[in-house]
Structure 1
Amino acid sequence: MKKKVLAMLLGWGLVMTGLAGCGGSGEGSSENSRPESTDSAEKSEESSQSSESGSDNEQADSERPTVSFVFTKGGFEGCPDNDVILQKLEEASDVVLDHIAPPSANYAEQVNVILSGDKSGLPDLVKLNSAMFNDLYDYVDQGALMDMSELVKQCPNILENVPQEALDRCSVDGKLYAIPVFCSPNRYNVVIRQDWLDNLNLETPVTLEDYHEVMRAFTFEDPDGNGQDDTYGMTGLSMETFDFIYGAFGAMAPIPSYNAASTYWYLDNGELKPQVTNPKVKEALETIRSWYEEGLIDPEFVTCTTDDDLNNKAMKNQFGISYHWWTWEPKIEAQLQEVDPNISFRRIAPPVGPDGQSGIRGVGMLNGCVVMLQGAKDPEACMRLLDWMYSEEGMMTTYTGVEGIHWQKNDDGTYVTLPQYEEDAAWIQWYSAFEAEWPLLQVETPLVQSRRDSFNWPTISNDGDGLITEAEVEYGADLQAFAMEYYTNFITGKTSLDEWDKFVEEWNSRGGTRWTEEINAEYKDKRG
């Protein structure tokens, strides 16, 4: 499959403004983040030691190859200069990291700008996020990427920790052109206000009917006790809000959400069919439409599209149930408890539907990839850095910080954070270019239980994951916008569900039929 070439409109000179992230020379010291001593002699000694350490680091840097790497860890921006995590990364991988970090809000646009610049100023490595993965084929077609097939043979951590299927998805004509950002499917949780359940003496909902009754109480029985009619049973981020309701019917939301760039597909008698026209989705929409009509669903769900939007609603006690990426709830709960320590969230199983089915969104195997450009100055150094990032030490460091400063391993084998972890929590994952399951599940951090709980729920995954077609490139965006409009109107009652067949027919005529034909051809070809 050859994707249409992107239009490159801007030059390298426009890129450098605001792109440079923390990083560079690796002169960081843990002294930067520790309380300053009040003893002058002690200060002098520390200053001398720091100066000697800095000289040693400068000498080491002059002997290390520099690797320029474009990637941004969204949500973890703002690390200090010369930090100890960067120092550890550079020492362990024996490189100097030139970290170029475009704003996460328009990352894809900025990367395309960077890659359209002066050839002499191009970086060595670039991360393509999940929404950009298809661009991999463009860059291969243009001859812009390094073939890593032989280089990866010297990377034991990548070969051990990345499934072959994930590597295969980053290969074209048998050649490896990217290192995958591999991740597991379980990333979402259904979240409920436990304090509201307690206030109303309600049990944890299990079935879809239970959820309905709890949502009705959360909407009409003043769960926060403020005497006002200002709460809803549920809200969320746009169409992502309803994932777990689709799951109760054995289907999955067909609209792109927090971590889904394209429509989901399901297998029916060996043939891939789009979830967007799945008859089971229509059944789910009937339930959602009914709940919306009752007033149980926040009517602003359509315009709630960012974490800030959702956080604002949480701060105002506007909803009792939501559903989101696993990192969201622990963070907002901590903020809310600073105002009211009695507020309590809880992660619960998604509802069981009328046929005993249940599930949340299972995300794709790849959350992007890292490519090496043809002009990379030191390919071996680049691969050494990437391999270290996939090592146990690399995963621990880029996700949790430096051993002995941010975390420690106890005699009983457990991993716990140290006080400095909390001090640096806002930026501690700044250098995490890959997903790292192992430290997320091992280390006792404020987020870890949410991550562990997400593995408890059944997932409904995309059976067409990793299959790319010309039709998707040509029609996908328009079809998604078309479906988004129809689904919103179905839910809000502007369009009757009696027009479902009309919607399906038009979706197919707008390119859906060709998309379905091409993805099935890809599927059969992959299966041999």
Structure 2
Amino acid sequence: MNMKKIICIVMALALCISLFAACGGNGSSTASTGSTSSTAAEGGETTEEGGESSAEGDVIDVLNQTEKMPVSIAVMTGFTQSDSEMEKMLEEKYNIDISLVVLPGWSDGQSQISLLMASDDIPNIMWWWSMDTEYNKWVQAGLLQDVSGYMQKYTNIRDYYDKMDKKTLFYASEADGSIYRIPGDVAEPSCECLWIRQDWLDNLNLKAPTTIEELEEVMRAFTEDDPDGNGQKDTYGLGGDGYDFRSFWPWIQAYDLAHYARFCVDDDGVVTYGPANEGTKKWVGDVAELYAKGYITPNITQDTNRDEEMANGGFGVTYSWCAWNNPDAAPMLSFYSTNPDAKWVPIDMVKGENGVPQEDPATSAAWAYFAITKSAQDPERLFATYDDMCSLENYVERRFGREGEHYEYDENDTYVAIVGPDSEENTSQNIGLKIFDNLFNRKDEGNISNTPETTALFNKSGENSRYAAAHLVEWKDPASFETWTEYSADIETEKDRYLWSVIAGTESIDGWDNYVATLNSLGLEEVLAEANEDYAALQAEMEEYLAAHE
């Protein structure tokens, strides 16, 4: 669907809403004019209990403000093109003056966020990921604004998340209904799938595997039978991001109640720690055997970057993003530039011991959040402005640019970048596409870069992850999980050390019982006792929330 069609749909919906309001509403309407997309809930009152923000009063017309509002926004490095074309467009449209507060990167970003939040110069909009303990301290210290009332009044953000997954805002909200953190980026229900070199399969006259056993035989052939035909032993079966257990998902999903990090729950509601379960012992043993045979890239036990290794063409199976199916996917573009005759294709997940092939489920909660802080001079106007930026039409322009100038549609009505959001041209020309990335990312029709085939792949992956998702625990407030907060660092350090040591062959899977005993001595038994209490309370709270928000 091209931008013109999207605009027509948005206008049609707006017309339907206005007609409804005129016939059966209270006569109120949005105060915004022109191309703004902000909407207001009828009645003018918040439906949430508690919290400080209010949905009462007139709707702010964000497109017709006479006073320029300064706005400072914390963004991760990589999306920091100061005074870019997109930034200037937003400043003129909303009469604001944007200042970007640049976070240094993934390794030092969280420490910089803590320093900023403890300073006298807190950004008006702060972005962060994880940091659950720190977040609770910020709320208690009054550093973040409650936006629950604003969400009832300006509804682009709220409506999007309610449409995609109602549990997302449940995980963002507090027990009294207040909302201090706005979901920044929430993955699709599942966003990865199994990829394989079709050209290698063809060269060796092999079919795509459908079971774990067939996958392991393909890996052997890719390693030992010269799939690229160069007469050298320079290929491997499986490659992946180094020091990332997700690379081994086909074996993890083969067993019930197995995981590399998360808590699991059985059909009776009993919570266990996935990395200490029998299923994990099995998958780790399987992977260790394959690694010892040389079927897996040796440096996978180190902190290496798979995307950089892709261009070398040295492995034929990997578990990675569905978005690789898009023609503008950077890793694939890099790969094909040096391997033009090769072909990666997504295939169905293989069947393991449990007989239920599953993709890796994402969480309903966001992996990153942003908030309006106490430093905002007009928090309602700031929320209303940002909410308008997140409407379908405005989001597409902010992320992908203007149709005909920065992108176009081909004869199949498929997005084609003229200037790619991740391209060097975007940076060198200071266009600023993807400005504020990860401060609200749409995964619906607003993500126009997904081809219909990629959208179908995402949908399929999501559908094929629900059995696994039902057996994984998602905590609403990990920081309130007191024993885990106290013991998790030691438990996870020992977990990572032992599992990677077994895979690398420096320790034996025969030491499993000692490993579990060590986890228990580090506090795992106390953690599981609290986990089972907290999980029961969490389920009751979620059911109450979902019933109230139907």
TM-score (ref. length: structure 2): 0.75
Q: 1:310 maps to which residue? A: 306
Pair 376,147 (structure 1): closer, same or farther in 2 beyond 3 Å: same
Q: Is the 8 A contact 1:208 1:352 kept in 2?
A: yes
Q: 2:356 maps to which residue? A: 357
Q: 1:322 maps to which residue? A: 318
Distance in 2 (CA, whole Å) between partners of 1:133 and 1:219 is 43
Q: 1:84 maps to which residue? A: 85
Q: 1:395 maps to which residue? A: 395
Q: 1:512 maps to which residue? A: 524
One of 240, 247, 258 as aligned partner of 2:246? 240
| Structure 2 counterpart SS, 1:362 | coil
State the Cα distance separating 1:173 from its structure 2 match.
Answer: 3.9
| Structure 2 counterpart SS, 1:162 | helix
Q: Is the 8 A contact 1:189 1:347 kept in 2?
A: yes
State the Cα distance separating 1:466 from its structure 2 match.
Answer: 2.6
Q: 2:42 maps to which residue? A: none
Q: 1:97 maps to which residue? A: 98
Q: Which amino acid aligns with 1:244?
A: P
Q: Is the 8 A contact 1:85 1:398 kept in 2?
A: yes
Q: 1:67 maps to which residue? A: 71
1:138-169, CA deviations, whole angstroms, 9 ceiling, x for partnerless residues? 21122221122222222211221123432232
Alignment pair present for 1:205 and 2:209: yes
Distance in 1 (CA, whole Å) between partners of 2:411 and 2:387 is 28
Q: 2:370 maps to which residue? A: 370
Q: 2:474 maps to which residue? A: 464
One of 151, 167, 170 as aligned partner of 2:169? 167
Pair 370,343 (structure 1): closer, same or farther in 2 beyond 3 Å: same
State the Cα distance separating 1:316 from its structure 2 match.
Answer: 2.2
Q: Is the 8 A contact 2:313 2:339 kept in 1?
A: no
One of 115, 122, 127 as aligned partner of 1:113? 115
Q: 2:145 maps to which residue? A: 146
Distance in 2 (CA, whole Å) between partners of 1:127 and 1:139 is 13
| Structure 1 counterpart SS, 2:460 | coil
1:367-412, CA deviations, whole angstroms, 9 ceiling, x for partnerless residues? 2211121231110222023312432123312332234432457999
| Structure 2 counterpart SS, 1:288 | helix
Larger displacement relative to structure 2 (62-71 or 365-374): 62-71
Pair 214,515 (structure 1): closer, same or farther in 2 beyond 3 Å: same
Q: Is the 8 A contact 1:406 1:421 kept in 2?
A: yes
Q: Is the 8 A contact 2:74 2:127 kept in 1?
A: yes
Distance in 2 (CA, whole Å) between partners of 1:322 and 1:502 is 32
Q: Is the 8 A contact 1:95 1:385 kept in 2?
A: no
Identity of counterpart residues, as a percentage? 24
| Structure 2 counterpart SS, 1:150 | helix
Q: 1:492 maps to which residue? A: 504
Distance in 1 (CA, whole Å) between partners of 2:386 and 2:531 is 32
| Structure 2 counterpart SS, 1:438 | coil
Distance in 2 (CA, whole Å) between partners of 1:425 and 1:456 is 32
Q: Is the 8 A contact 2:72 2:98 kept in 1?
A: yes
Alignment pair present for 1:180 and 2:186: no
| Structure 2 counterpart SS, 1:320 | strand
Q: Which amino acid aligns with 2:436?
A: Y
Distance in 1 (CA, whole Å) between partners of 2:415 and 2:455 is 16
Q: Which amino acid aligns with 2:259?
A: A
Q: Which amino acid aligns with 2:115?
A: V
- Segments of structure 1 that go 5 or more residues without pairing to the other structure are 1-59, 256-262
Distance in 2 (CA, whole Å) between partners of 1:443 and 1:269 is 42
Q: 2:17 maps to which residue? A: none
Pair 191,91 (structure 1): closer, same or farther in 2 beyond 3 Å: farther
RMSD of aligned alpha carbons: 2.8
Q: 1:338 maps to which residue? A: 337
| Structure 2 counterpart SS, 1:354 | coil
Q: 1:253 maps to which residue? A: 259
Q: Is the 8 A contact 2:257 2:264 kept in 1?
A: no
State the Cα distance separating 1:269 from its structure 2 match.
Answer: 1.2
Q: Is the 8 A contact 2:79 2:436 kept in 1?
A: no
| Structure 1 counterpart SS, 2:231 | coil
Q: Which amino acid aligns with 1:315?
A: A
Q: Which amino acid aligns with 2:255?
A: F
Pair 491,410 (structure 1): closer, same or farther in 2 beyond 3 Å: closer
| Structure 2 counterpart SS, 1:265 | strand
Distance in 2 (CA, whole Å) between partners of 1:87 and 1:289 is 54
State the Cα distance separating 1:66 from its structure 2 match.
Answer: 1.8
Pair 247,140 (structure 1): closer, same or farther in 2 beyond 3 Å: same
State the Cα distance separating 1:71 from its structure 2 match.
Answer: 2.1
Distance in 2 (CA, whole Å) between partners of 1:349 and 1:279 is 25
Aligned residue pair count? 451
Q: Is the 8 A contact 2:410 2:416 kept in 1?
A: no
Distance in 2 (CA, whole Å) between partners of 1:178 and 1:91 is 27
Pair 241,361 (structure 1): closer, same or farther in 2 beyond 3 Å: same
TM-score (ref. length: structure 1): 0.78
- Segments of structure 2 that go 5 or more residues without pairing to the other structure are 1-63, 541-550
Q: 2:195 maps to which residue? A: 191
